[in-house]
Structure 1
């Protein structure tokens, strides 16, 4: 599927995910978003050297340049996708959790990069606020999201000791909450 949807020419065009998501009906989009996002991240990573080309006159090492461009493309896709997820229902939070889990497993998150830090901080604050709202149906998903955010960037997640205790109680990734 990703070979058809995310061809290199499409990946180089800028925002390959949002046109796809706009075609998916809203109730079903929450189910499609994590699958499409994960496929996009994998495609970026697998084809990063052919997608992100560098001018021969550049003084930046090629690997550094390509890694930076890949991170930026993934961050923009994540940011735009998170913006689509309005509302605090359980499926929206499950989708957000799946997106951050993809970022965690991808391994390209760079601590101290301001644009990533801002995005993670906004997500952590929104997740903590939702956790404080006390909706029991979302607690496990919210804690799972906070665990992923904490693993990605402890300083930006800014979890208080009470939230950390709950996060420590969460089972390992892939387990039940």
Structure 2
């Protein structure tokens, strides 16, 4: 059985995993009008910070992401590492775009959690649903060529909201 600290770590890991999948999907909205696939132009490193709103207050997080995009720009593999004063998470996701539909999978490698993601994107914004391991979340992403803002709302009682901003080239 998990103690309170371990349970809190699992919930936060799930939220970060959701963030990873959703940040990946944000890439679709940015370049939907380009002739290449929606992930074109996002190869490389991103970094930034944000916060976790819990039942006990807010905690700052720092995140680094790396993106590998296939030659068509329709498939993306992302590795996201986030850390706070209390936690460190590594999440890997694979996302495929088919028109305006986005789908994929994620795994949080330090805690052996995994799940799926799906959603739609339009005009640099999207809404998505992430699930897996008994966890669900709704995510909203606003994206531009060099900046992504992500907000995740979960039904978890101790983690209410996660938000982060990533900059390209970090």
Using the size of structure 2 for normalisation, the TM-score is 0.27
Structure (1 or 2) with the larger CA radius of gyration: 1
Task: Name the structure, 1 or 2, with higher relative contact order (CA <8 Å, separation 6+).
Answer: 2
Using the size of structure 1 for normalisation, the TM-score is 0.26
Higher helix share: 1
